[in-house]
Amino acid sequence: MQNFSDDVHVQTDDDLALQTYFKTGITPDDVSAVFPLKRAQPVLQAFTALFHGGFNGVLLRLLVLRELAADVETPSLSRADINAKLGYLEADALETVLSRLRTTGLLVWDASQSVYRITPTARNVLAAIESLLQIDENNDQAEMSYMLTQVAGAQAVGGVSVEQLHHLLGRLIELTEEFSDAIASGSEFQLRTAQQKWHTACDWVEKGSEIIHAITNDSRADAATHRAAQAIGRAQSALLNMQGMFSRALNQIERQRVHLGQSGLSTTDIKTWLLQKEDLAALADDALAQPVTPMFITPSEMIDVAESELLSHRVSAVAGALPTGENAPSIANDDSDALHELDHWLALLTQTDASEKPVALQDILLPANFSIASYRASMLPLLGDPNESALQGATGILARLPLVFNSRDKMQKVHDEHVAAISIASLSAAPATSAPSASTISATAAPTAPTRETP
């Protein structure tokens, strides 16, 4: 006979006396963070009723409660309806789960009509769980969708809390640090993985910008909520500005990539191929005709061999002549299109006269196709960069140009074949006593051009 008894939580003396968990002289009422948790005791007890015990017991309770809540045509269920709906469960197991849900307040037994009813607390708990399950199915790599959904829902009903905003802010800061570590690692595979995750995070940032803007302009929000929303806005800007860092790191790796002769294969291709192999040791099967035989020699023999090798090298160095010269093998020059475009772009900026009046951004970036315009725009944040100014090369020359980039958080349409809209911005001459500042530029591709290009 199977035992379906549920492990009902029995409160011990330590559970009843919360004071036993705190140091002497400190009461739970002295800690401000304890009060909201004690106030939410009914909701927390509902979660405890569902998730206390082993995984199989938790799964069974959630299964029963979800099946009962799924019937929305009638607010009440008789025991016969429950038995018919959950006929695939053992009778003792079903009775144990129903008793657990009933004693913890998730189900209510109406004795006058002999029916079960789902409580509002149970539906709220199920709604929160369903949101988490749905997000897990969508495979959100950035893990921001649930927190942003909670903030959006709370803002829609006018009840967003500072704690919800802090959770979202904390996740944005974690993502920024994670991407910075990937860039600092210098690993192409980590950079590719982080860049894909960065694109997912940017999609959620774009969706959440309107929500944060609404919270910032909401006069009903208190000062703490405004500060949290503004901090989220700054964290979003820092996250979006990492596109140029990804591009520069990947371009640097591309310039340093080693190619194997004239085969067209690189070390990245070989590493990718090796990562796809489940058993690397199997690649050595039948690779050696004979096993390697170790040889052991004494220190005296090692001295004799070393002396003989030393004398033979000395004799050959004195008697032999210098080797004849040979032409060095020709290799492909690093004359990528990106470097040629950077030199051309640098020449245009050098000839730009912004001393009398600022030059509009579209006059600098256009005419050009969308990929070249995006590449030029990604170079503008280097103007006045102190780190880049100390370096040599074309990017260092660009950073030292006496130009200041000024932009506004608005877009304007332009009459161009490849670019539909561009940020309202301009270039002006840099004052003699101040360093230029950098901003973020955005452009929207026309319908005939790609919607997203990576310089």
20 pLDDT above the threshold of 80: yes
28 pLDDT above the threshold of 70: yes
Edge-to-edge strands, sheet with 76-77:
76-77, 115-118, 107-110
Q: What is the mean pLDDT of residues 389-401?
A: 78
Say what the pLDDT of residue 329 is: 64
At residue 408 the predicted structure's pLDDT band, cuts being 50, 70 and 90, is confident
| Inter-CA distances, 390 with 69, 185, 350, 398, 400, Å | 65, 22, 18, 11, 9
446 pLDDT above the threshold of 70: no
Say what the pLDDT of residue 288 is: 66
Q: What is the mean pLDDT of residues 89-107?
A: 89
In 119-266, the DSSP E strands lie at none
Say what the pLDDT of residue 445 is: 43
At residue 316 the predicted structure's pLDDT band, cuts being 50, 70 and 90, is low
Tokens of 277: 């192999």
Supply the pTM of this predicted model: 0.46
Say what the pLDDT of residue 453 is: 34
Could you give the 3-state DSSP secondary structure of residue 360?
strand
Could you tell me which residues come within 8 angstroms of residue 291 by beta carbon, excluding any fewer than 6 positions away? none
Our measurement of the distance from residue 240's CA atom to the centroid of its chain's CA atoms, rounded to an integer in Å, reads 11
Residue 79, number of CB atoms within 10 A of its CB: 14
Say what the pLDDT of residue 450 is: 36
Say what the pLDDT of residue 317 is: 61
128 pLDDT above the threshold of 60: yes
Q: Sort 53 into a burial class: Cβ within 10 Å, 0-12 / 13-18 / 19+.
A: middle
Say what the pLDDT of residue 419 is: 83
The whole-angstrom separation of Cα 54 and Cα 62 is 13
Would you give the end-to-end CA distance of the chain in angstroms?
A: 69
Q: What is the mean pLDDT of residues 120-139?
A: 78
What is 13-126's CATH number?
1.10.10.10
Angle at 114 between CA 110 and CA 117, to 5 degrees: 45
Say what the pLDDT of residue 291 is: 65
Select the more confidently predicted residue: 337 or 110: 110
Say what the pLDDT of residue 138 is: 61
What is the residue extent of each domain of the chain? 13-126, 140-248, 340-445
Instruction: Write the pLDDT tens digit of every residue in 32-71.
Output: 888 888 888 888 888 888 888 889 988 999 899 888 888 7
At residue 434 the predicted structure's pLDDT band, cuts being 50, 70 and 90, is very low
Instruction: Write the pLDDT tens digit of every residue in 195-226.
Output: 888 888 888 887 778 788 888 877 777 888 88
Instruction: Write the pLDDT tens digit of every residue in 170-203.
Output: 888 888 888 888 888 888 888 888 888 888 888 8
User: Any bridge partners for residue 110, and if so which?
Assistant: 115
In 29-184, the DSSP E strands lie at 76-77, 107-110, 115-118
Say what the pLDDT of residue 137 is: 62
Instruction: Write the pLDDT tens digit of every residue in 292-313.
Output: 677 777 788 788 888 888 887 7
At residue 443 the predicted structure's pLDDT band, cuts being 50, 70 and 90, is very low
Instruction: Write the pLDDT tens digit of every residue in 221-264.
Output: 788 888 888 888 888 888 888 888 888 888 887 777 776 766 66
Say what the pLDDT of residue 448 is: 38
The whole-angstrom separation of Cα 15 and Cα 113 is 37
Q: Which value, in Å, is the radius of gyration of the alpha carbons in the chain?
A: 34
Lowest mean pLDDT among 3-12, 145-154, 162-171, 329-338: 3-12
Give the chain's mean pLDDT.
Answer: 77
Residue type (1 letter), 355: S
